[in-house]
Amino acid sequence: MKLICIIDDDSTHRKVLEYNLTSQNYEVRSFASGSEFMKQTFTEPPFAIILDHYLKEDKTGLDYLKDIKKKIPKVPVIYMTNETDSDLIRQIKESKASGYIAKDPASLVRLRTLLDEITQKSESSWLSKIFKK
């Protein structure tokens, strides 16, 4: 089962994501803060990480994105936030995030689509290694 980590200080949003992702057969681990996530060790890296921008800490999601990419560089990080500031959205899209999703009524559909795209990329790179495409 693929592990997805959620970093979001909003407990209601974490629970909605947990329910939605576990119903799609993902293993889910949730963290209320980026610092809590950074303390974790993984025997196998997560399949993906869902990261919020505003965390009740001194650092933002963008700050943690840099830390996460240093710790586990190949893991896709999906940035999911309520923030609508166009400059911040530009920064997110220019960062090393694998995708940006606005928290709105359609966000779970967009999340599923992005996770399917990540799965296809990981499977195609796995196949290309075997068949040396």
Q: What is the pLDDT of residues 7-44, one digit of tens each?
A: 999 999 999 999 999 999 999 999 999 999 999 999 99
Give 77-131 pLDDT, tens digit per residue. 999 998 889 999 999 989 989 999 999 888 999 999 999 999 888 776 655 555 5
Structural domain boundaries in the chain: 3-131
Class of domain 3-131: alpha beta
% of the chain exceeding 90 in pLDDT: 79
Q: Please provide the DSSP assignment of the chain as one string.
A: --EEEEE-S-HHHHHHHHHHHHTTT-EEEEESSHHHHHT---SS--SEEEE-S--SSSS-HHHHHHHHHHHSTTS-EEEEES---HHHHHHHHHTT-SEEEE-STTHHHHHHHHHHHHHHHHHHHHHHHHHT-
